[in-house]
Structure 1
């Protein structure tokens, strides 16, 4: 419960981090597949509560990336189901570490990357959605690494992550690994998700751009370190 509340707060503040922070914790009590599906259910429900902000503020590239995420999520989930749990936990930790390394790269201009880069981000985010409920590693640098308004960055990311979560839920149901007890657990934790995200969103409106970008880096670094230590 504490991990869920904290991850939701970070998600409300930064626009991402819910899966990166919470999957490694849930994966200690559940199988990696169950943890990933639980995160997807909670993240999908949360995105539905923010649909107006997404439609108003998100960059158009979010639609392209989100569509590719939907296509690539099922293969990622199938790969996770075939991976031994201990190895999956280690890979999930390394994925979190890669996101931290990527966001440290120098900031670019506001120009949207080319079609090939955008497609690569969408497909890799979809694979990571299925495998780890973490579409963030390729998506966060794509937006946060550019000199665009943080409101646009956040809205674009939460829109993509919402589509990713929906794709994860559908893929889990389609391949027969989504169980009712995971749905019940996710619904039981969801009020904490709403509370944490609300507090984080209020904090988002009170901090400046440099503080927000620093928070993004700190969250990614801490999550990567914690996930790696747990995996080892």
Structure 2
């Protein structure tokens, strides 16, 4: 057996990491988002901050691919492109901060950020304005910074789109496209900055196999006409990932 695979199976907490990526894949396939929060909530309790982010982005790299074609058809790729302009510029400073952060503080920041998102969403507030190019690029930049720092690029973008009046099919598709694109950017930046850890990358790719299967299953559960179910599942996922990620469980 290759040494890389031996290292994968010897990883402490492997069963919890795999449970996390399966749950994340089901949610990602159904809702288009939330998987990073679930994986980071699990990974941050098992791995150090940099390794947790690498594991998350590698596990998420192949999982959403079966749903990519439908997302491109249903979503708004031009808006996603604007998100990625901002995200690409803001990822590097976020990664710099991540590399200089302690593990316990990292866990608190991730969970508190997620809980703030949940409160804002459940308050019922809705954005009534137009999703202008400047607003979209700025939101992408905030998401990119949070991705580099905490491995969770979704909260600002989730807040923008779920508080909008767009159909949930468009919202879900945009989430899928944006999160996959930012994973690619993250891998490139980690590689270029010398932070890439091959052993953790192999572990993440291994975990990507059950993640892919779960993504397919989750996509089959999605109903574009059931907005209430969509939002309820989203709220439950956000709350659970935040609570499980609190350092008090370590």
* TM-score, with structure 1 as normaliser: 0.91
Runs of 4+ in 1 over 6 A off after TM superposition: none
Contact 1:72 1:127 in 2 (8 A): yes
The match for 2:118 is: 100
Q: Give the gaps of 5 or more residues in structure 1.
A: none
Correspondence 1:17-56 to 2 at 5 A: 17-56=34-73
Q: Structure 2: how far apart are the matches of 1:15 and 1:150?
A: 10
Q: Secondary structure at the match of 1:192?
A: helix
Are 2:231 and 1:209 equivalent residues in the alignment?
A: no
- How many residue pairs match? The answer is 232
Instruction: State the Cα deviation string for residues 95-146 of structure 1 (Å, max 9, x = none).
Output: 2112212322435367632344323211110001111221111011211222
Counterpart in 1 of 2:179? 161
Residue 10 and residue 51 in structure 1: after superposition, are their counterparts in 2 closer, same or farther (change >3 A)? closer
Instruction: Tell me, in whole angstroms, the C-alpha distance in 1 between the residues paired with 2:50 and 2:211.
Output: 20
Q: Conserved in 2, the CA contact under 8 Å of 1:103 and 1:140?
A: no
Asked if the contact 1:126/1:164 (under 8 Å) is kept, the reply is yes
> Would the aligned equivalents of 1:74 and 1:167 in 2 still touch at CA under 8 Å?
no
Q: Structure 2 length normalisation: TM-score?
A: 0.85
What 5-or-longer segments of structure 2 have no aligned partner?
Answer: 1-17
Aligned-partner Cα distance in 2 for 1:51–1:230 = 37
- Cα distance in 1 for partners of 2:26, 2:155 equals 19
Q: Does 1:138 align with 2:156?
A: yes
The separation in 2 between residues aligned to 1:210 and 1:129, in whole angstroms, is 28
Q: What's 1:3 paired with?
A: 20
Structure with the greater alpha carbon radius of gyration: 2
Matches within 5 A, 1:220-231: 220-228=238-246, 230=248
2:44, 2:216 → 1: CA distance?
A: 25
57 and 98 in structure 1: CA distance in 2 versus 1, 3 angstrom threshold:
same
Aligned with 2:246: secondary structure? helix
The CA RMSD measured in Å over matched residues stands at: 2.0
8 Å Cα contact 1:70/1:163 also seen in 2: no
